[in-house]
Amino acid sequence: MPDPTQPAIAFENVTKSFDRAGGSAVADVSLAIRRGEFLSIVGGSGAGKTTLLRLAARLIAPDRGTVRIDGADVRALDPVAMRRTIGIVFQSGALFPHMSVADNIGITPRLAGVRAAEVTARIDRLIELVRLDGRRHRARFPHELSGGERQRVAVGRALANTPSIVLMDEPFGALDPLTRDALSEDYVALHRGLELTTVMITHDITEALLLSDRIAVMQAGRLAAAGTPAELAGSVDPYVAELFGTPLRQIARLAALLPGATPGVQR
């Protein structure tokens, strides 16, 4: 059992660069993510968000600094075993195209050595949990699903081996707004119900504001700011203010444009 006083994930002065000439993809980042927290990472394209997530799952190793999972330095852990305890939802899903929905979801417990009968039971439960139709979708292949259904399967695959930590890279980015809303609300419910620690990359500030306990802002590899939505919305840092001002300004403009259509603007 992990030490409950330790953060679920901790970055300590982590630096990573891919080429010596260019700058660092991630530069001297320190950030602790509490157990049970829902943390969003926002920031421009190329800011180092994905790199940070890959460092957490030890898909890559840092050049300097330490990454800890439940207090343990990931360098001391077996990477394969460690990844099996973490759920990852990749950008655009990355479902295995040659496996059915059931096999995609079942892959994580199967790899962890869970018995076949138990794997089947979990597949059934997760299909239900991510609100897919077991009878219709179970045997389908990824190319036979809609974008939203694919992302539901990706979430199912990440959760199937009962992880305590889930890492998500723009999980709902490519979906239409309605599907995205439904899916993200479903996910937050799962996050609470399963007592997960979630780190989600998103480029949708509104989504970050609405879902997160805390938000980390990345800029050119550095951690520009981190705080609760309220803290960041009131930030005086010009970049952060610009970033979080945008949705608020949009809402104000919408309210002016369509009076009466936006009843709940006040926060």
Ligand X SMILES: Nc1ncnc2c1ncn2[C@@H]1O[C@H](COP(=O)(O)OP(=O)(O)O)[C@@H](O)[C@H]1O
Considering the complex, what minimum distance in angstroms separates the CB of residue 194 from ligand X? 26
Does 167 bind ligand X (CB under 6 A)? Our answer is no
3-state SS string over 139-189?
CCCHHHCCHHHHHHHHHHHHHCCCCCEEEEECCCCCCCHHHHHHHHHHHHH
Give, as ranges, the residues between 46 and 105 that touch ligand X (CB under 6 A).
46-51
User: Could you tell which of Mg ion, other proteins, ligand X, none binds residue 47, using a CB distance below 5 to 8 A set by kind?
Assistant: ligand X
Q: How many CB atoms lie within 10 A of CB 35?
A: 18
Shorter beta-carbon distance to ligand X: residue 46 or 79: 46
77 binding other proteins? (CB under 8 A): no
Three-class secondary structure of residue 4 per DSSP: coil
Total residues contacting other proteins by CB under 8 A comes to 23
- When the beta carbons of 46 and 177 are compared against ligand X, the nearer one is 46
Q: Tell which one of 32, 59, 182, 224 touches other proteins (CB under 8 A).
A: 59
205 binds ligand X (CB under 6 A): no
Output the 3-class SS for 182-199: HHHHHHHHHHHHCCCEEE
| Interatomic CA distance for residues 66 and 184, integer angstroms | 31
50 is a site residue for Mg ion (CB under 5 A): yes
Instruction: Work out what residue 45 binds among ligand X, other proteins, Mg ion, none; the CB cut-off runs from 5 to 8 Å by kind.
Output: ligand X
**What is the per-residue binding string for ligand X in 23-52, x denoting contact by CB under 6 A?**
--x-----------------x-xxxxxxx-
Q: Does 107 bind other proteins (CB under 8 A)?
A: yes
Residue 25 near which of ligand X, Mg ion, other proteins, none (CB within 5-8 Å, type-dependent):
ligand X
- In angstroms, what is the minimal distance from the CB of 62 to ligand X? 13
Stretch that binds other proteins, among 77-85, 189-197, 228-236, 254-262 (CB under 8 A): 77-85
Spatial neighbors of 77 by CB under 8 A, at least 6 apart, are 58, 69
Give dist(CA 9, CA 73) in Å, integer.
Answer: 10
Q: Which is nearer to ligand X, 16 or 137 (CB)?
A: 16
Phi then psi dihedrals of residue 184, to 5 deg? -70, -35
**Which strand ranges, in their side-by-side order, compose the sheet holding 72-73?**
26-33, 9-16, 64-69, 72-73
What's the rounded Cα separation, in Å, for the pair 96 and 94? 6
Positions in the binding site for Mg ion (CB under 5 A): 50
